[in-house]
């Protein structure tokens, strides 16, 4: 994948939809609801049922300006598998440099999970495109604010974990570049209509937090 496609998606809507637990036969309808609401980044965690099938269905069924990939990626081999399924981004709960390099070598963007400045800078050195602050509910707004005091403004910090439309604003004020959205946006069995409704609520809350 051309990294500019990922950058364009992130610029248009820096909210990553996390479809943990989704079944392949539900994936495209969920993806279409998210896209119509304005999302342009979707991940299917690899601990979901048949995740590579869902990734392929999403990639083949959604417009090319929507970036599709995998979450909970734990190994270099998994990066190869995700790329073969049409994945364009790898999201990780950790910051193993081998996995980051494998994702980038396969032509995918990479968003590793980091919980300390040391991990953050090491992940960037390995080729990370975006840093996932995880778990956000444990790190909190004060940590994000402290990181922003010492990190260049060009580094994208994306809190993930426990994010809701109601708690986005303090993170945005502290310097969040976007968010990864899990159970408050999608839970297994949730209808496409409800996904779309909640996706629009997140987009509206993010716009309000940014003063847009």
To the query of whether residue 43 is one of the catalytic residues in this protein, the response is yes
To the query of whether residue 190 is one of the catalytic residues in this protein, the response is no
* pLDDT at residue 158 greater than cutoff 90: yes
At residue 3 the predicted structure's pLDDT band, cuts being 50, 70 and 90, is confident
* pLDDT at residue 175 greater than cutoff 90: yes
43, 119, 145, 187: which one is catalytic? 43
Give the β-pairing of 15-18 and 179-181. Answer: parallel
For the stretch 55-99, pLDDT in tens is: 999 999 999 999 999 999 999 999 999 999 999 999 999 999 999
DSSP 17-62: EE-TT--HHHHHHHHHHHHHHT--EEEEETTSSSHHHHHHHHHHHS
As to burial, measured by CB atoms within 10 angstroms (0-12 exposed, 13-18 middle, 19+ buried), residue 203 is middle
Let me know how long the chain is. Answer: 212
* pLDDT at residue 202 greater than cutoff 70: yes
Spatial neighbors of 130 by CB under 8 A, at least 6 apart, are: 10, 109, 110, 111, 156, 158, 177, 178
Q: DSSP code of 129?
A: S
**Token couple for 134:** 């995880």
- Kindly report the pTM of this predicted structure: 0.96
For the stretch 11-59, pLDDT in tens is: 999 999 999 999 999 999 999 999 999 999 999 999 999 999 999 999 9
Question: Which neighbouring-strand residues pair with 160?
Answer: 180
pLDDT of 2 reads 64
pLDDT of 14 reads 98
pLDDT averaged over the chain?
A: 97
7, 26, 98, 132: which one is catalytic? 132
**Domains of the chain and CATH, by start:** 3-211 (3.20.20.70)
**High-pLDDT (> 70) share of the chain, %:** 99
- Whole-angstrom distance, CA of residue 154 vs CA of residue 194: 35
């Amino acid at each position: 994948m051309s990294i500019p496609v990922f950058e364009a998606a992130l610029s248009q809507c820096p909210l990553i939809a996390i479809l943990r637990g989704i079944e392949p036969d539900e994936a495209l309808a969920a993806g279409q609801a998210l896209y119509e609401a304005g999302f342009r980044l979707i991940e299917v965690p690899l601990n979901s049922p048949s995740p590579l099938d869902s990734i392929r269905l999403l990639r083949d069924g959604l417009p090319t300006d929507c970036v599709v990939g995998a979450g909970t990626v734990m190994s270099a081999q998994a990066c190869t598998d995700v790329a073969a399924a049409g994945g364009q981004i790898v999201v990780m709960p950790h910051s193993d440099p081998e996995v980051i390099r494998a994702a980038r070598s396969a032509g995918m963007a990479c968003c590793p999970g980091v919980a300390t400045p040391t991990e953050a800078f090491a992940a960037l050195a390995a080729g990370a495109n975006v840093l996932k602050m995880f778990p956000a509910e444990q790190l909190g707004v004060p940590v994000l604010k402290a990181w922003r005091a010492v990190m260049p403004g060009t580094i994208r910090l994306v809190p993930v974990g426990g994010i809701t439309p109601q708690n986005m604003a303090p993170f945005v004020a502290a310097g969040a570049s976007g968010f990864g959205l899990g159970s408050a946006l999608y839970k297994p069995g949730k209808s496409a209509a409800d996904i779309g409704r909640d996706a629009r609520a997140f987009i509206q809350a993010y716009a309000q937090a940014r003063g847009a």
